[in-house]
Amino acid sequence: MNLYPLIRPILFGLDPEQAHRLAFSALDLCTAAHCASLVAGPPIADPVRLLGLDFPNRVGLAAGADKDAQHLRALSQVGFGFIEAGTVTPIGQPGNPKPRMFRLPEAEAIINRLGFNNKGLESFVSAVREARAGNALRGPVGQTILGLNLGKNANTPIESASDDYVAGLTASYPLADYVTINISSPNTSGLRSLQGADGLRPLLARLRDARTELCQIHRRNVPLLVKIAPDLDAAQIAEMAELLPEFGIDGVIATNTTIAREAVKHLGHGLEAGGLSGAPVREASTRVIRLLRTKLPSAMPIIGVGGILTGADAVEKIKAGANLVQVYSGLIYRGPALVSECAQAIRDHFKLA
């Protein structure tokens, strides 16, 4: 029984950020009352081993939904194979001025310029530690894999960005199943410049050295992924694909939101500043995945994200070369049952392959 179609008009009548908070509060209550199934689809087990980790299925939650890791127990009950919490910055920050999030229902899209609003690393780590201690990540399809997504503070100079990422990696390392370095949000000034070789090479070298030390201290190797933009051209993607394996990066998340507006410029709010997500980014994201797959080592996993609103969209990412997928904006338009739909479609795809 999927109640989300009845709930969505209420949520869409609210400010997007208010609706986000209300939706999570409702999901938390449903979880506490053991009735998350009222909004989630049937749990789909489709285990796969990647990054040295056992994923219960191939569908995850993208970063940005649970920035402060406050809802891990509830999210685990929806049937995700993995959840990526964050983006977190070393010091808490309010993000950009409001309004900063806009729905474009005609295009099944969202524009946001949130700007890494979060409570900071100390609060984030505390919340993850509490979730781990309470076995909150045990879901209906098994133990949910947890990724932690790291960013830099808005007031940190770009030349010092590696300090923020190393601080995040150091604090999150003992608690993460994997860690993602977010260098592709369009909502922190200068951040995307780190995707170019001049910015990326020294950052990756610093992270490689930090992880080597952390691995020795904690006696475990935590996979390190990098999240990239859908707006990179073929030459930039080829350059990225060469650099990431060189510095021991374990996987790529493709992609973040886009700054392109061609598909929505005629719509209300279509020219708002920020990152565009949802259906209009689907083709760009898939293009990046397809190019990456031809350039990266075959064993290097790609997590495909961007414009997944149906099971067919999820399978499209897999066919393009992704090993796992993530959803976020699709949940806003389709609700939590999208997780089950995508997991089932991917499982059926591999059975037929």
Cβ atoms 221, 266 nearer than 8 A: no
Q: At what angle do helices 337-352 and 311-320 cross, to 10 degrees?
A: 50
Helix (H) or strand (E) holding 207: helix 197-218
At residue 287, the 3 state secondary structure works out as helix
Q: Which burial class, exposed, middle or buried, applies to 57 when counting CB atoms under 10 A from its CB (0-12, 13-18, 19+)?
A: buried
Distance CA 147, CA 224 (A): 10
Q: Which burial class, exposed, middle or buried, applies to 6 when counting CB atoms under 10 A from its CB (0-12, 13-18, 19+)?
A: exposed
Can you name the residues that pair with 146 across neighbouring β-strands? 83
At residue 129, the 3 state secondary structure works out as helix
Residue with tokens 């170019």: 196
At residue 305, the 3 state secondary structure works out as strand
184 is catalytic: no
Q: Which of 255, 262, 261 is nearest to 282 (CA)?
A: 255
Phi/psi of residue 89, each to 5°? -115, 160
Per the rule left: phi > 0, alpha: psi between -120 and 50, beta: everything else, 7 is alpha
Residues 172, 184, 185, 285: which is the catalytic one? 185
Distance CA 335, CA 339 (A): 8
Distance CA 317, CA 304 (A): 6
Active site residues: 185
